[in-house]
Structures are given as structure tokens and as C-alpha cells.
């Protein structure tokens, strides 16, 4: 019988301590060391999703697969929860939506998903040499342990060696790490082979005494004190990771921070290309940007009504009338249209609502969800940019009828090309269903170049796609003795 892959878990003391970043860096480090490595997160709660060839998964796992130099697939994230509002989530199992559940019902019945999780992990372990498992939330969720899908129970089932990550930036790192260790049963504590102190600002040597105290009291070595670093290029799991990046004199892109914003990580390439990207949750915060973006949303109609109540809708229309370019992506595209109809109550109570009427488009929601990767071309039109090739992915409910100029033409594998999106008569407002457009230099450079020309500024096109994961691996290697870490994790 073929030997199953060795499993390593990157666990945390809480959410947003850096598990995703460290797991991604570890995937690249192990790939560089010559291991066939795959990422895995049993259960992910995130509005950032990606489309693998066989279905929908969390964006972080897609990035981890890219770092590992393997194709993403649904086994890498068998359960994805996409919040839909107060105490409800869409449940995606092995890449396909299985409907919406309230939190109480899900937590009561999630034990039935344990065989799904186990099957997905086993398939990866049969194919790869190492599986890097990312935990969820805190490793010591005592109230959830009996039906846990992603932490201690999974570590036991996979016989995983564990790295425990704490976040020194939020304070209380001693309580975080030592408290978590103290809450673990001895069999689970024995799996923890190293501690990582993340997001340290300043000279890590100043924490040398702290590292010794942690190692002595926790009886676990501190393998590294990792510096705080902006722009590591790993998608955030949830909206806690939405952060503005402002640069003096740079192209100013303002993204509306919808209550149920989704796939907000797709604007990171604009930051990498030198633009400022701000997130605005009030009309006053919008200002007068060079580009205003209405992003995707998990609950489009509810977020549209939020736009109106807070005055953002009126501000958006005023800016469009004043000549500010506007781009709507997915749910944002639907909001920019004339109407949105939900006859079956897919998003909530059955309703028809007015859109912002900036595009000649009418959307009708259906229960069938489209999740596909697409390629195609953006037509010459919006902002007078030239026709450029594009690729990305669609994740949406509903179909949109457009009367007027399309944004572009796209197709998934096996499809004929079809029109996508819409552009207004002034060529300043556009909408599209395609996520991930800014990942690709031709489209990104065309847009940033057009915006720069409108400002009378110079623009330098991208000089090629940088390997963000090489920089991420270097960040980890600079602070961690990797050979020692691999020995403690029993990989080397």
C-alpha cells in the first residue's frame, strides 16, 4: 500500500493571526525543497472565493496551491461557508452549493460533513508527499471540539505535526500562545512542535527574552519571530483583512466597502502596480477618486439598499454624472443596472427593486449558480482603452439582460463566446461578471494608463509578473531556521 502524505498543520490562537500567510509561505518553501505539496483547509468561512476546474473553493487555498505550484481543486477546501448576513451562510461542499443554512442548524448538523472532509484529505494524501493543513480560528475552541472539522480533531485524524501562530500586534501574545497550549489535552499539546510569533514591528532581537520565556513556560521551541509586512500578496479570509493602501500622488481607486463584500482581494494587484486602493463605507469617505468600484456582494439586494440608505448611492450617481469612471464587478454590476428581480426569494423575500440605473441592464436571480473560469476579450470602449485579452472567473447567481454595448466577450471551456457586462453611452461606467481581471497585466495596465492620462500623469506599464510567492518564502526563511523547522515537523 502506498504511504500516505505527511501532514503539517498551521494552527492559530485566533482568527487573523496570519495562518493563511504562513501556510502559503510554507507551501512555497516545501515546493522549493523538492516536495510534492498540497494545501488543505477542511472548513473555510470566507467571502473570498475562487473557481478551480472542478468547483468553488476559498481564495486562500487557491493561492496556496499556486504557491505550491499545483492546480487548485475542491479537495483542498471541501467545505466553504459564505456568509449571507446575520447568522446565515451558503454552504459549499466539494465545490458546489448545497443551499443556505442558519448558524444553529449548521453547527448542529456539521458532523455529517466529517466523512467529506476525511475523503478529501485522503485523496490528497494519496497523491502528494506533504499536505499543509490550515486550521480555522483558534486551535483551542473547547465548545466546538466534539464536532470540530478543522482543528484538533483533524490534527489527530491526520496525525499532523502542528505549528502554533500568535499575533503580537494585537497584544497579549504570551496569553495567546501559553493560554492555548494550557487549554489543550496532553495528546494535542504533544503535536505542537513549534511556536511562531507573527506581525512583530521593530527589531526582532528585542523579543529575544520573550521568546525564551515562551519556550521555557510552554515547553515548545519558538521557531521564529516574523516581522510585520504589508503587501505579502496572500488573500485575506474575511473582511477583517480589508485594508486601504494610500500613496501620495498615485492613481486613486476607491472601492465601496459593502457590508457583504466578496472577493475584495482582487484589487491587490492594483496596489502592487503602484495605485492607491481605498475602501469607503460612507459617502463622505468616497471623496473624488480617479476610479470608483462597486465590488461583488454575497447579498446584492440587501447591499444595494444599504447603499441607498447611507447616501452612497446618491454620491455614486453624482460622481458618475460629474465624469468619474465607475466599474461594477459581479454584484456591483447588477446594482448599477436598472432593476434586480428575485422572483423565487433566492437572496431573501421575493422582490423587484430599482437599481442605480447607470447601465442599461436588468438582472433576474435564479437558483442556479454559475461558477466557471473564463477567457476572452474586453472590447474597445470603456475609458477608450483598446481591446485586450482577459481571463478570470465567474461566481454568481442570476442572469443579466443588456440593451446596449457589452463590456467584452468571454467563454468557459466548451462554450461559444458570449457578451459579458455593459458600458454606458459615455464610456465611463462599466459592469462585468468577471472576477480577477486586475490579475492580468494587459487589462490592468490599460486601465491604469487610461486613468493616468485623464489626470495628465505619466504611467509606467508593468515590467512583468513578479513571483509574489518567492518573496513570501524569502520572508519566512529570513526569520525561521527552515532545516530545524522541517526536522521538528518530521518532514526532513
H-only helix segments in 19-159: 19-32, 59-67, 103-109, 114-127, 152-158
Euclidean distance between CA atoms 326 and 306, whole angstroms: 18
Distances (CA, A) of 380 to 371, 427, 441, 446: 26, 10, 16, 11
The answer to whether 435 is a known catalytic residue is yes
Euclidean distance between CA atoms 335 and 323, whole angstroms: 19
From the list 7, 27, 254, 330, the catalytic residue is 330
Euclidean distance between CA atoms 80 and 89, whole angstroms: 9
Helix (H, G, I), strand (E, B) or coil at 489: coil
Euclidean distance between CA atoms 144 and 127, whole angstroms: 30
Under 8 Å CB-to-CB from 137, ≥6 apart: which residues?
12, 14, 15, 150, 151
Are the CB atoms for 228 and 477 separated by under 8 Å?
no
Q: What count of other Cβ atoms lies within 10 Å of the Cβ of residue 133?
A: 24
Are the CB atoms for 422 and 369 separated by under 8 Å?
no
Instruction: Give the E-state strand segments of 205-336 in sequence order.
Output: 222-227, 252-256, 261-262, 276-280, 291-294, 296-297, 326-329
List 195's β-bridge partners, or say none.
164, 222
Of 172, 178, 187, which is closest to residue 220 (Cα–Cα)?
178
The answer to whether 260 is a known catalytic residue is no
Return the residue matching grid coordinates 465548545: 143
Are the CB atoms for 405 and 423 separated by under 8 Å?
yes
Active site residues: 330, 435
Amino acid at each position: 500500500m502506498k504511504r500516505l502524505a505527511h501532514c503539517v498543520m498551521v494552527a492559530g490562537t485566533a482568527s487573523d493571526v496570519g495562518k493563511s500567510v504562513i501556510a502559503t509561505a510554507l507551501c512555497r518553501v516545501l515546493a522549493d525543497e523538492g516536495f510534492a505539496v498540497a494545501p488543505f483547509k477542511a472548513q473555510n468561512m470566507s467571502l473570498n472565493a475562487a473557481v478551480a476546474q472542478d468547483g468553488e473553493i476559498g481564495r486562500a487555498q487557491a493561492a496556496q496551491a499556486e504557491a505550491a505550484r499545483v492546480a487548485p481543486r475542491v479537495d483542498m477546501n471541501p467545505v466553504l461557508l459564505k456568509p449571507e448576513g446575520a447568522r446565515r451562510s451558503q454552504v459549499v461542499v466539494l465545490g458546489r452549493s448545497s443551499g443556505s443554512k442558519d448558524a444553529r442548524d449548521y453547527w448542529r448538523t456539521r458532523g455529517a460533513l466529517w466523512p467529506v472532509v476525511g475523503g478529501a484529505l485522503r485523496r490528497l494524501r494519496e497523491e502528494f508527499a506533504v499536505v499543509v493543513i490550515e486550521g480555522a480560528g483558534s486551535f483551542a475552541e473547547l465548545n466546538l471540539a466534539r464536532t470540530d472539522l478543522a482543528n484538533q480533531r483533524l490534527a489527530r485524524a491526520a496525525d499532523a505535526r502542528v505549528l502554533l501562530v500568535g499575533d503580537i500586534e494585537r497584544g497579549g501574545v504570551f496569553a495567546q500562545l501559553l493560554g492555548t497550549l494550557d487549554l489543550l489535552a496532553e495528546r494535542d499539546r504533544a503535536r505542537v512542535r513549534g511556536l511562531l510569533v507573527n506581525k512583530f514591528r521593530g527589531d526582532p532581537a528585542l523579543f529575544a527574552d520573550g521568546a525564551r520565556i515562551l519556550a521555557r513556560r510552554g515547553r515548545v521551541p519558538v521557531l521564529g519571530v516574523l516581522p510585520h509586512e504589508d503587501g505579502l500578496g496572500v488573500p485575506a479570509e474575511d473582511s477583517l483583512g480589508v485594508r486601504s493602501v494610500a500613496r501620495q500622488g498615485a492613481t486613486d481607486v476607491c472601492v465601496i466597502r459593502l457590508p457583504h463584500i466578496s472577493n475584495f482581494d482582487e484589487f491587490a494587484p492594483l496596489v502592487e502596480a503602484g495605485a492607491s486602493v481605498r475602501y469607503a463605507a460612507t459617502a463622505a469617505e468616497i471623496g473624488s477618486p480617479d476610479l470608483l468600484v462597486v465590488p461583488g456582494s454575497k447579498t446584492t439586494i440587501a447591499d444595494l439598499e444599504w447603499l441607498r440608505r447611507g447616501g452612497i448611492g446618491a454620491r455614486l450617481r453624482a460622481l458618475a454624472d460629474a465624469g468619474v469612471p465607475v466599474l461594477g464587478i459581479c454584484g456591483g454590476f447588477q446594482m448599477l443596472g436598472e432593476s434586480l428581480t428575485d422572483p423565487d426569494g433566492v437572496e431573501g423575500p421575493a422582490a423587484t427593486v430599482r437599481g442605480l440605473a447607470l447601465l442599461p441592464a436588468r438582472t433576474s436571480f435564479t437558483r442556479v449558480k454559475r461558477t466557471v473560469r473564463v477567457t476572452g476579450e474586453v472590447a474597445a470602449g470603456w475609458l477608450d482603452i483598446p481591446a485586450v485579452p482577459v481571463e478570470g472567473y465567474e461566481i454568481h447567481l442570476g442572469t443579466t439582460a443588456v440593451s446596449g454595448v457589452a463590456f467584452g466577450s468571454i467563454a468557459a471551456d466548451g462554450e461559444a463566446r458570449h457578451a459579458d457586462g455593459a458600458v454606458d453611452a459615455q464610456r465611463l461606467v462599466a459592469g462585468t461578471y468577471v472576477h480577477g481581471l486586475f490579475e492580468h497585466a494587459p487589462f490592468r495596465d490599460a486601465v491604469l494608463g487610461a486613468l493616468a492620462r485623464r489626470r495628465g500623469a505619466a504611467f509606467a506599464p508593468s515590467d512583468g509578473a513578479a513571483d509574489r510567492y518567492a518573496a513570501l518564502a524569502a520572508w519566512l526563511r529570513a526569520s525561521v531556521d527552515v532545516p530545524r523547522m522541517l526536522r521538528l515537523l518530521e518532514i526532513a
